[in-house]
Chain A
Amino acid sequence: MSGLHELLLLCVVLTNFWVLGTTRLSATIRATAIQGGLLAALPIALHPGWSLHIIGLAAGTFLVKAILLPTFLNWAIREASVRREVEPLIGFTASLALGALAVALSFGIAERIPLPESDSALLVPVALSTVIVGLLVLTTRSKALTQVVGYLILENGIYVFGLSQVERVPFLVELGVLLDIFVGVFIMGIVVFHINREFDSLDSTRLTELKD
């Protein structure tokens, strides 16, 4: 199944570009849901052997990243009735270009990281570029909800990197990590909901009252 995981990793990169290029919040959430599904399939493609550990990880990831969190985020935008990211701090074309730059940069950095027994040549560059795209979305979008999506993408990138260490990190700990991310995004979503009610806007740039 050596070709399958390369294909999955490439699709992860495509979903990153999808998030960078779209203005519609619902499309952003759909993209992260699909990315979550891809991430759930990755451990199975990388470690074909059907061990309980891998199946559990895939099932947990699918449940949290492809079903629960997207459903919850969809609920949040429906409640807040916002549909579009209107004024990002960096335009969509520019952020796509930055995304492409991130991919190039990641391949450059990945060559210098001497990972032992690397499972796939694409694993580390895709992980790094996903982390960079996550940070990019987090810092350049003004809607609080898009920033939550950015955080999720950042975590997804780290997850991909973690897959190279999947035999070294016990299942119990992976479950803990997944649970923490789930609760983290859940609380952020609740805060986004309150921001919307309090300010009649999901714009986190309006949060400027506190300063020295």
Chain B
Amino acid sequence: MPLFLLVGLPVLASAAAYAQRSPRFRLGWLVGTALVHVTVVATFWVHPAAPALGGWLAVDPLGLVVLTLVSVLFLVVAIYAVGFLRTETPRGGPVFVSCLLAFLAAATLVAISHHLALVWVGMETTTLALAPLVYHRHDRRSLEAVWKYLVLSSVGIALALFGTFFLAAAQTQGRPLILEDLIAGSGSLQPALLRAAFIFLLVGYGTKMGLAPLHAWKPDTYGEAPSLVGGLMAGALTSCAFLGVARITQVTVAAGYDSFVQPILLGFGLISLVVAAAFMIGQTDLKRLLAYSSVEHMGILVLGLGLGGVGRYGTVLHLLNNGLTKGIMFLAVGNIVLVTGSATSDAARGILRRLPVSGVLLLLGLFAVTGSPPFGLFLSEFTILNAAIGQGHPWVAIAMIALLALIFVGMAAVVLEVIYRPPETEAPAVRENLLLVAGPIALLVAVLVLGMYIPPPLQRVLTEAARGLGGVAP
């Protein structure tokens, strides 16, 4: 029952918000739904949810991590949206809120669905729900961005559907396309069809994750979408897409094809790191910089998945850390855009004086996102690095260290210039709205805590999730 509520409530709220004439009530639906969603998800940590719809909907440890991430990030974004919509008045007020809620419903469906075709339906819906939000500014640049986003994501997702059908064809026993039955009957899966399914699903959902070289839509989309939408995409949408990749990896590994899966995942991971490093250097737009940072972290996620062993524990932890950190970065940049009207590093110069809180958030966020201690990403990247050495891939470890160092330099150069270089014309400090900074501050605290202490319930869930993927906890 609570599982139906999690998907059904945002759907209803989305319709209600669209019909609502008063902006105040509309935002009430947004924040209210986000609060209920977080509360219900929180109860799952104490009392695990019972499967529903004959096993189609269930919450396993990996799904719980993604679900919690989506829920928390959505609450932060919803509160931010209240402040954002005060200063920015989009042409389609009802559409904006309604699409955000529709995204929440679809992302929840992806996280809790154990029927792999239903996962596809949810994934395609997340793409469509965010499209009108990318076109928020209604100008030529955002039009170009939304076109690229729609076409590339849709083709990617179509290939994932192809892969899903291959997987159905590969299955010879058990309920069709139910994750548990696929894993239980993994020995009887038809090998050639399973491999084809893995490739198509990886390319399909990998496009949605933004793994290089399938990332072409990402910088344009993140660059043009409103920052809070970018934060949702980089934190929640990519995590859902990763869950799709993780599911098929789970099945393929259970069938005993770890040696087939590993080199492919390692290849995508390393290419993503190389592309991210190459395009970050000399980047002048903060949002595009974050898009390449997202390509980097998606690369690290599949790298950990490909390394196996402890690496898979690191990947699950990294998933959580990356999602929270992207929220901080995009919302901090969003505050800069609200004041300066642009995300280019020239316009944002001297931001520490104009926006002290957001400036500090951006500075600390820089260290968090590049994996510096004591933030959570350091811990997860370190775990993955350890796995590379432990699993006998020293060259992967060396490449990873070198590329992460390059990425740190590339990102720090842009962000530090924005923060410390004096602006051309001195502008007075702006009083910052609590609604616009409270969320990112809370996320920063969470990432900081995760870097130093992992609470036992979380540790347990992470361990089980890693085991589910065929890995182990350190």
Residues of A that sit less than 8 Å from B by CB: 112-116, 131, 135, 138, 144, 147, 151, 154-155, 158, 161-162, 164-165, 168-170, 173, 176-177, 180, 183-184, 187-188, 191, 194-195, 198-199, 204, 207-210, 212
Q: List 11 A-B contacts (CB under 8 A).
A: A113-B192, A151-B158, A154-B158, A176-B121, A184-B128, A184-B150, A187-B150, A191-B150, A198-B140, A209-B141, A209-B144
- Residue in chain A with minimal CB distance to B221: A210
Q: Is B151 part of the binding interface, using a Cβ–Cβ cutoff of 8 Å? A: yes
Distance in angstroms from B78 CB to nearest chain A CB is 23
Are A169 and B177 interface neighbours, CB within 8 A?
A: yes
Q: Given A114-B190, A114-B192, A151-B154, does the pair A161, B220 have CB atoms closer than 8 Å?
A: no
Q: Is B196 part of the binding interface, using a Cβ–Cβ cutoff of 8 Å? A: yes
Q: Given A173-B117, A176-B121, A184-B154, does the pair A168, B176 have CB atoms closer than 8 Å?
A: yes
Are B146 and A191 interface neighbours, CB within 8 A?
A: yes
Interface secondary structure of A, over-half rule: helix
Q: Is B145 part of the binding interface, using a Cβ–Cβ cutoff of 8 Å? A: yes
Are B128 and A180 interface neighbours, CB within 8 A?
A: yes
Which residues in A have their C-beta under 8 angstroms from that of B169?
115-116, 164-165
Partner of A180, one of B124, B132, B135, B140: B124
Of B12-20, B160-168, B248-256, B352-360, the one contacting chain A is: B160-168
In the bound complex, CA of A194 to CA of B134 (Å): 14
Are A188 and B151 interface neighbours, CB within 8 A?
A: yes
Are B192 and A207 interface neighbours, CB within 8 A?
A: no
Which residues in B have their C-beta under 8 angstroms from that of A116?
169, 172, 190
Are B135 and A191 interface neighbours, CB within 8 A?
A: yes
- Residue in chain A with minimal CB distance to B119: A173
Q: Which 7 residue pairs across A and B have the least CB separation, nearest first? A: A168-B176, A176-B121, A207-B144, A180-B124, A210-B220, A165-B168, A173-B117
In the bound complex, CA of A164 to CA of B193 (Å): 13
Distance in angstroms from A80 CB to nearest chain B CB is 14
In the bound complex, CA of A138 to CA of B154 (Å): 11
Which residues in A have their C-beta under 8 angstroms from that of B138?
194
- Residue in chain B with minimal CB distance to A187: B131
Partner of B283, one of A199, A208, A212: A212
Are B162 and A131 interface neighbours, CB within 8 A?
A: yes
Are B177 and A187 interface neighbours, CB within 8 A?
A: no
Partner of B125, one of A115, A180, A208: A180
Most-contacted residue by chain A among B143, B172, B193, B279 (CB, 10 A) = B143
Distance in angstroms from B246 CB to nearest chain A CB is 20
Summed over the interface, the residue pairs from A and B with CB atoms below 8 Å come to a total of 113
Are B147 and A184 interface neighbours, CB within 8 A?
A: no
Are B147 and A191 interface neighbours, CB within 8 A?
A: yes
Q: Is B114 part of the binding interface, using a Cβ–Cβ cutoff of 8 Å? A: no
Most-contacted residue by chain A among B140, B192, B219, B220 (CB, 10 A) = B140
Which residues in A have their C-beta under 8 angstroms from that of B135?
191, 194
Which residues in A have their C-beta under 8 angstroms from that of B154?
151, 184, 188
In the bound complex, CA of A114 to CA of B169 (Å): 9
Distance in angstroms from A128 CB to nearest chain B CB is 10
Which residues in A have their C-beta under 8 angstroms from that of B144?
207-210
Distance in angstroms from A167 CB to nearest chain B CB is 8
In the bound complex, CA of A151 to CA of B150 (Å): 11
Are A177 and B161 interface neighbours, CB within 8 A?
A: yes
In the bound complex, CA of A121 to CA of B238 (Å): 39
In the bound complex, CA of A161 to CA of B193 (Å): 13
Partner of A191, one of B115, B143, B176, B279: B143
Query: Interface 1/0s, chain B 96-132, versus A by CB < 8 A?
Result: 0000000000000000000101101100110110011
Which residues in B have their C-beta under 8 angstroms from that of A154?
155, 158
Q: Given A116-B172, A138-B151, A187-B128, does the pair A212, B143 have CB atoms closer than 8 Å?
A: no
Distance in angstroms from A23 CB to nearest chain B CB is 22
- Residue in chain B with minimal CB distance to A131: B162
Are B147 and A195 interface neighbours, CB within 8 A?
A: yes
Are A199 and B140 interface neighbours, CB within 8 A?
A: yes
In the bound complex, CA of A204 to CA of B279 (Å): 25
Distance in angstroms from A154 CB to nearest chain B CB is 5
Distance in angstroms from B130 CB to nearest chain A CB is 11
- Residue in chain B with minimal CB distance to A138: B155
Most-contacted residue by chain A among B121, B145, B177, B219 (CB, 10 A) = B121
Partner of A161, one of B128, B150, B165: B165
Are B151 and A173 interface neighbours, CB within 8 A?
A: no
Are A113 and B196 interface neighbours, CB within 8 A?
A: yes
Are A210 and B141 interface neighbours, CB within 8 A?
A: yes
Q: Is B223 part of the binding interface, using a Cβ–Cβ cutoff of 8 Å? A: yes
Q: Is B171 part of the binding interface, using a Cβ–Cβ cutoff of 8 Å? A: yes
In the bound complex, CA of A204 to CA of B161 (Å): 26
Partner of A151, one of B120, B155, B176, B279: B155
Query: Interface 1/0s, chain B 165-193, versus A by CB < 8 A?
Result: 10011011000110000000000001011
Q: Given A168-B176, A173-B115, A210-B144, does the pair A147, B193 have CB atoms closer than 8 Å?
A: no
Q: Is B247 part of the binding interface, using a Cβ–Cβ cutoff of 8 Å? A: no
Are B220 and A144 interface neighbours, CB within 8 A?
A: no
Distance in angstroms from B62 CB to nearest chain A CB is 21
Q: Given A114-B190, A176-B118, does the pair A155, B158 have CB atoms closer than 8 Å?
A: yes
- Residue in chain A with minimal CB distance to B190: A114
Distance in angstroms from A198 CB to nearest chain B CB is 6
Distance in angstroms from B97 CB to nearest chain A CB is 18
